[in-house]
């Protein structure tokens, strides 16, 4: 036994081996959208890794059973120090809604005419507006946060927030936001609300679905149960008309040989059942969306060419 002398009952054993990858849990948290339930993190990184990350301050508890990055606390402190409120994605995180990407510095809403304290100028992205009763002592309220995110963020980032809110049980609030939308950006708000789905598992999947929605002819739904394989399968995104399965593929899911084997068998069974299976990494979905969209468009065109060829063959016969 290395790292502890014989008879050392405190067991300071091989600390590097006990925490071979200290970045595993923070990386998983990033992929899950900045805040995540304990069960989701454990599913990605394992119970022991999550407990070590919590004990060492790499993640913090934001409410019972939910964790976030240490930066969430400093974001709230910055907003308070400036006399403002967290807004946009920073407010979404405060409400427990995972986002496409955690902002490098928080978004803070200040009352019109209020100056940014000199020492805080570079510590946030500053916005101006009304600090009304729709704000709590840290962030804009849920309804205002959703309206601002749906109106101002790029479509994929807005959809990630809206999906997260639906998963958290805020469907009625989202419907109200869409119904009350007025002025510049109102059509954008209504589109995000209409396309949002509680079934979306996480922002990674939401952003991938947003890309799919921009591909002509592709019509995907999240978490569709496919019962024609044995065992049954529930892929991330499914286009039933084109028989295309699209997976938001995270490396952490394949952290052991058993998980890799299960996924390989599942994909093979889907292909044998007549499904085209596409797998996209988090890095490509977040940072190379042109590549993802080009592949999706190419596969839709391939299905159409194959269908036309089959139809011509039927006519000729």
Place of tokens 């790499």: 58
Over residues 186-199, mean pLDDT: 98
Of the candidate ranges 11-25, 54-68, 72-86, 186-200, the one whose mean pLDDT is the lowest: 11-25
Residue 285 has pLDDT above 90, yes or no: yes
Q: What is the pLDDT of residue 258?
A: 74
Alpha helix locations (H) across 87-200?
88-94, 142-152, 155-167, 171-180, 186-195
Q: What is the pLDDT of residue 211?
A: 98
Buried b (16+ CB within 10 A) or exposed e, 268-303: ebbeeeebbbbebebebbbeebeebeebbeebbeeb
Q: Which two tokens stand for residue 26?
A: 């923070």
| Percentage of the residues of the chain whose pLDDT score is greater than 70 | 89
Q: What is the pLDDT of residue 16?
A: 38
What are the CA-CA distances from residue 282 to residues 155, 157, 163, 278 (Å)? 17, 14, 17, 13
Fold of 203-316: Endonuclease; Chain A (3.40.960)
pTM for the complete prediction? Answer: 0.87
| Range(s) within the chain of domains with CATH label 3.40.960.10 | 203-316
Q: Which residue has the higher pLDDT, 139 or 130?
A: 139
| Local confidence band at 257 (pLDDT 50, 70, 90 cut-offs) | confident
Q: What is the pLDDT of residue 142?
A: 95
């Amino acid at each position: 036994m290395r790292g502890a002398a014989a008879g050392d009952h405190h067991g300071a054993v091989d600390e590097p081996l006990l925490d071979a990858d200290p970045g595993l849990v923070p990386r998983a948290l990033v992929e899950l959208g900045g805040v995540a339930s304990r069960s989701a993190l454990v599913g990605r990184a394992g119970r022991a890794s999550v407990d070590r990350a919590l004990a060492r301050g790499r993640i913090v508890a934001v409410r019972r059973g939910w964790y976030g990055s240490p930066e969430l606390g400093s974001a709230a402190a910055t907003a308070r120090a400036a006399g403002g409120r967290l807004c946009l994605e920073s407010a979404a995180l405060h409400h427990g809604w995972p986002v496409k990407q955690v902002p490098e510095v928080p978004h803070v809403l200040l009352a019109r005419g209020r100056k940014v304290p000199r020492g805080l100028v570079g510590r946030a992205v500053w916005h101006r507006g009304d600090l009304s009763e729709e704000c709590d002592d840290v962030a804009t309220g849920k309804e205002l946060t959703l309206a601002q995110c749906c109106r101002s963020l790029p479509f994929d980032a807005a959809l990630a927030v809206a999906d997260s809110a639906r998963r958290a049980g805020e469907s009625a609030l989202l419907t109200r936001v869409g119904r009350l939308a007025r002025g510049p950006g109102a059509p954008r708000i209504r589109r995000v609300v209409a396309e949002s789905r509680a079934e979306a598992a996480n922002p990674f999947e939401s952003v991938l679905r947003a890309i799919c929605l921009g591909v002509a002819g592709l019509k995907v739904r999240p978490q569709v149960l496919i019962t024609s394989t044995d065992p049954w399968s529930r892929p991330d995104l499914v286009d039933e008309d084109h028989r295309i399965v699209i997976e938001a593929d995270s490396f952490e899911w394949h952290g052991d040989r058993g998980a890799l084997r299960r996924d390989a068998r599942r994909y093979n069974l889907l292909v044998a059942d007549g499904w085209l299976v596409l797998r996209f990494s988090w890095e490509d979905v977040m940072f190379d969306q042109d590549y993802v969209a080009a592949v999706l468009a190419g596969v839709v065109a391939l299905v159409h060419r194959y269908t036309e060829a089959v139809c011509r063959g039927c006519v000729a016969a």
